[in-house]
Amino acid sequence: MVTEPLIQVRGLENRFGDHRVHEDLDLDLYPGEILGVVGGSGTGKSVLLRSIVGLHQPNSGTISVFGGDLMTMSSGERSRTERRLGVLFQGGALYTSLTLQENIALTLIEHARLSRKDAEHLARMKLALAGLPPEAALNYPSELSGGMVKRAALARALALDPEVLFLDEPTAGLDPIGAAAFDALLKTLRDALGFSVFMVTHDLDTLYATCDRVAVLSRGQVLVADSLDVVEQNPDPWIQDYFHGPRGRAVAAAHSQHTEEDH
């Protein structure tokens, strides 16, 4: 049975002055999958994410989200569509003057029209879902470790029960233990809640631990989008350097050993 993609990008073009970031880019995101998006510096990974969630207006092309064209939707349709998407920005982007509970409650009050009491109750549930202890709800972002900030930002991204979660470098700045814990949490939540994930990352450990497919951006387009074992074999020089350099070989070996132990 062929599954229709939740998100379909076709012929996308993004330019900044004379600089063309994307040209005739195509990409799909399917229900329930975790898609990792990688590429060298300047390949427009974050620009692609921002285009799909409606924060950047592309120069041309189509972006179909849940069957509707994001570019031509009415403001009402677009608002309803955007509520079905959750976004975790680089650095978390939490309001520093609000507690974690208030950060998440604000989203629920503004978009779900909940009362403050109900919003704060649900906010505490979302924080627990993201693996934070109850007492963290009343902390401010500045009082937390990087890993806890990422989890709080994930809780906020999950506030409205999105069908697609967008993550921009979610493990950047975390130590290996914190990053591995975040990866495990992401897979657990995806399996439990059934959302799809579009994840921009450069973290090889995260790719091997979580992703069903990997899309490689290069020269303005998606060079390849497939399972890791297929992507690794692509002869493109950047792919070969990335996946088969010393770091890539070490991560692949560790993942292979871990997989064998699980079986």
Tens-digit pLDDT string for the chain (263 aa)? 558 999 999 999 999 998 999 999 999 999 999 999 999 988 999 999 999 998 899 999 999 999 998 778 888 898 889 889 999 988 778 999 999 999 999 999 998 899 999 999 999 999 999 999 999 999 999 999 888 999 999 999 999 999 999 999 999 888 989 999 999 999 999 999 999 999 999 899 999 999 999 999 999 999 999 999 999 999 999 999 998 877 766 777 777 666 656 65
Domain extent listing, the chain? 1-84+163-227, 92-161
Q: How far, CA to CA in Å, does 117 sit from each of 101, 158, 204, 236?
A: 11, 18, 41, 54
Token pair, residue 251, equals 């991560």
Cβ atoms within 10 A of the Cβ of 74, count?
Answer: 9
Give me the CATH code for the 1-84+163-227 domain, please. 3.40.50.300
Phi-psi region of 89 (alpha: psi -120 to 50; beta: other; left: phi over 0): beta
Q: How far apart are CA 211 and CA 200, in angstroms?
A: 11
CA gap 77, 249 in Å, rounded: 46
Q: What is the pTM of this model?
A: 0.93
DSSP H helical segments within the chain, as ranges?
45-52, 75-82, 100-111, 116-129, 146-157, 176-193, 204-210, 228-231, 237-244, 246-262
